[in-house]
């Protein structure tokens, strides 16, 4: 494997939240290198505090969650996401984890917009929002609400999960009231509210993320349409090639590529660990 193929292989083995961490890391490095050279690019990715600016750039309700400028902001968000992700994915499906994360990002962004536009006397100056904190906070509070008495090891003693959530929520409220990064902490509270609501409804048997999940599946299908068309074309060529008497090696190469595509689709849906031993060996050999 060349280096690009190795990176693709390693990326495919990550779980869905680790993939988000990897994407955030790449975007952070890109921002580190090009923020001063191409500042206008990041203006089009961050979430503005005024509704007019947001209406011109509606995609920023999602893209702001992938932008970090401060190394410590980036580090702590990704560390939280990594450790919470291990708990989350041991108990719930990857799709639910993504639903909570991205719905938390959106809820945090909406809370930020509402705060600045409905309470102008509290939030005096225009601002912009960046960072994955709202999505991370949504997953944390979801776990706190769904399993509040779970113990988390902290050095030499245990902490109840809900203690951690309550402390951070209290800190966010104090920061909003004191004006210390009020917009960012308001977004934290928006993400936390989504996480709590999701857990509360799930405990009653209602998954409020199903509609969002269907929407994301539809968006994903738009990008898969080209791939499906190409596969259909390949099948047509194969039938013709068989009549034309193509060599056995070409026939085997086509079948091997088709099997690789099926395995990669399985990884994208269920993760690398869902593969059988034979599938893992086949993918490894195909990458050489």
pLDDT 10s digit of each residue in the chain, 288 long? 577 788 888 888 889 999 999 999 999 999 998 888 888 888 999 999 999 999 999 999 999 999 999 999 999 999 999 999 999 999 899 999 999 999 999 999 999 999 999 887 778 788 899 999 999 999 999 999 998 888 887 777 788 889 999 999 999 999 998 888 889 999 999 999 999 999 999 988 899 998 888 888 887 776 665 444 445 455 544 444 444 444 555 546 656 666 777 777 776 666 666 767 777 677 666 655
Give me the phi and psi of 150, to 5 degrees please.
-65, 135
- C-alpha distances (whole Å) from 198 to each of 13, 146, 204, 215 are 28, 9, 10, 17
For the record, the structure tokens of 173 come out as 């409220």
**How far is the C-alpha of 221 from the C-alpha of 257, rounded, in Å?**
21
What are 129's strand-pairing partners?
Answer: 47
The residues near 131 (Cβ < 8 Å, ≥ 6 apart) are 64, 65, 67, 68, 73, 77, 184
**How far is the C-alpha of 240 from the C-alpha of 246, rounded, in Å?**
9
Q: What is the pLDDT of residue 133?
A: 96
> Can you tell me which residue has the tokens 């600016």?
53
The residues near 171 (Cβ < 8 Å, ≥ 6 apart) are 185
**How far is the C-alpha of 128 from the C-alpha of 120, rounded, in Å?**
15
């Amino acid at each position: 494997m060349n280096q690009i193929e190795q990176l693709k292989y390693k990326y495919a083995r990550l779980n869905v939240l680790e993939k988000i961490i990897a994407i955030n890391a790449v975007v952070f490095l890109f921002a580190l290198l090009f923020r001063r050279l191409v500042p206008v690019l990041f203006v089009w990715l961050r979430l503005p505090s005024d509704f007019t600016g947001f209406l011109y750039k509606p995609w920023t309700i999602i893209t702001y969650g992938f932008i970090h400028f401060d190394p410590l902001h980036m580090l702590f968000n990704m560390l939280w996401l990594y450790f919470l992700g291990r708990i989350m994915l041991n108990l719930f499906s990857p799709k639910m984890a993504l639903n909570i994360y991205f719905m938390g990002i959106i809820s945090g962004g909406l809370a930020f917009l509402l705060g600045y536009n409905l309470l102008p006397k509290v939030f005096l100056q225009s601002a912009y929002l960046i960072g994955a904190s709202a999505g991370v906070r949504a997953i944390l509070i979801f776990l706190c609400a769904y399993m509040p008495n779970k113990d988390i090891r902290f050095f030499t003693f245990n902490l109840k999960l809900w203690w951690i959530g309550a402390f951070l929520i209290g800190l966010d409220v104090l920061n909003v009231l004191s004006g210390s990064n009020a917009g960012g902490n308001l977004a934290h509270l928006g993400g936390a509210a989504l996480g709590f609501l999701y857990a509360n409804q799930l405990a009653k048997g209602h998954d409020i993320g199903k509609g969002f999940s269907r929407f994301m599946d539809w968006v994903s299908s738009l990008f898969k349409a080209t791939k499906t068309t190409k596969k259909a074309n390949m099948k047509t060529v194969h039938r013709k090639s068989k009549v034309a008497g193509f060599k056995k090696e070409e026939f085997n190469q086509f079948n091997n590529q088709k099997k690789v595509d099926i395995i990669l689709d399985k990884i994208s849906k269920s993760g690398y660990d869902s593969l059988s031993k034979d599938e893992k060996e086949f993918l490894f050999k195909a990458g050489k």
